[in-house]
Amino acid sequence: MLEFKYKTQEEKYEYVAKQHGGYYRHDFTDHAYLYNLYFPPKAVFTHLKDNIQDIVLNYPMAQNALAELIGNFIDQPSERIVVGNGAAEIIKILSGHLAKKLIVPVPSFNEYANAAPVDKVVEFPLEFPSFQLDVDKFAAEAIKENADIAVVVTPNNPTSLLVPKEDLIRLAKKLENHNCMLIIDESFLDFAEDKTNISLEQEIHLYPNVAILKSMSKAYGICGLRIGYLLTANLEFVNLIRDGIHIWNINGFAEEFLRILPQYKQEFEESCKKVIVDRDEFYNKLCSISGMKVFKPDANYIFCRLPDDALSGPEIVKQLFIKHNIYIKDSHGKTQPDADRYLRIASRTEEENCRLINGLKDVMYLKSR
């Protein structure tokens, strides 16, 4: 058994804070990573276990067949789809290899900027303090910088705020005549209200300069399987991305999950509804904390600004872990004003969310005691 190199809770915090996963091995409540706790159902795990010998001993399928599996599930032609080893694989290709100049609103998911050379990224500040995206200003900046790829995450990470569909359509039209592809990251859209009517997925054929990117890890609760996909009607763009993916980029467990997923559409929809109920109750409880500014969430996590007289975000994250064995994220690594005053907290079960609230209240003002 692996011996972890910590003896105290503080040493455990220092160790965990340097990791990028494997949290389940360390016995704490994870309000940092963003899971759907109600999916997949047990039947999926039973199926994978029952078929483990064939899954392990045989080569998985390659890109064309994988794209068919995704296409069958989202009702799209397979030639419009690229399947990635998580969305992160596709982001690496987009940012690190295809983009001559990439523009992304900030704060946002850091990987888009991190995966690109420094001189190929333009970070566009969101409106402060609302963190709303002004798509007209964003389009103007993209055109001015001669960007060939623009990224919008909706709902955004870490703010959990949605960009309205009509704004995205206007943005796409503004960029179309300037040879700029708009990448819309919809990884958390399944937790938004009325998600079918706010996604561009079923209208993708109308916008040749739009691609939708989706990590399935979050919504489908399968972070360890590593599945993501990109969808666009721009077949030239599809081929450019496929050229950067090796032949067996998805393992057999991920392939088998995609094969059986259509059987569980109803269970998936119900799981998202449960996440939304828990999140909304959590939001109301967070709003009850005096002095806390809580942004109304569209995803399964909540963005908060701490009271001015409370500890900083990084201090609260550390004290919450040491005293209550609960891990959350602060925003000190994000590009935004007052970054150390903000927290991003994943919603979990009602019981776990209540424990988080109590723990947060306990540590927020430790230095004044």
Q: Dump pLDDT digits (tens) for 146-196.
A: 999 999 999 999 999 999 999 999 999 999 999 999 999 999 999 999 888
Average pLDDT value for residue range 22-28: 94
CATH fold label, 9-41+266-368: Aspartate Aminotransferase, domain 1 (3.90.1150)
pLDDT at 4 over 90: no
Is the fold of 9-41+266-368 the same as that of 43-264? no
Q: What is the DSSP letter of 31?
A: -
Model pLDDT for residues 280-306, shown as the tens digit of each residue: 999 999 999 999 999 999 999 999 999
CA-based radius of gyration for the chain: 21
Contacts of residue 244, defined as CB under 8 A and 6 or more positions apart, other chains included, come to 93, 97, 98
**Domain ranges across the chain:** 9-41+266-368, 43-264
What is the average pLDDT value for the chain, to the nearest integer?
A: 96
Partners of 210 in the beta sheet? Answer: 182
Cα–Cα distance measured from residue 131 to residue 360, given in angstroms and rounded to the nearest whole number: 24
Model pLDDT for residues 331-346, shown as the tens digit of each residue: 998 999 999 999 999 9
Average pLDDT value for residue range 227-246: 97
Q: What is the pLDDT of residue 1?
A: 41
Q: Under CATH, which number does the domain 43-264 receive? A: 3.40.640.10
Model pLDDT for residues 66-108, shown as the tens digit of each residue: 999 999 999 999 999 999 999 999 999 999 999 999 999 999 9
Model pLDDT for residues 194-219, shown as the tens digit of each residue: 888 899 999 999 999 999 999 999 99
Cα–Cα distance measured from residue 356 to residue 289, given in angstroms and rounded to the nearest whole number: 12
Average pLDDT value for residue range 317-335: 96
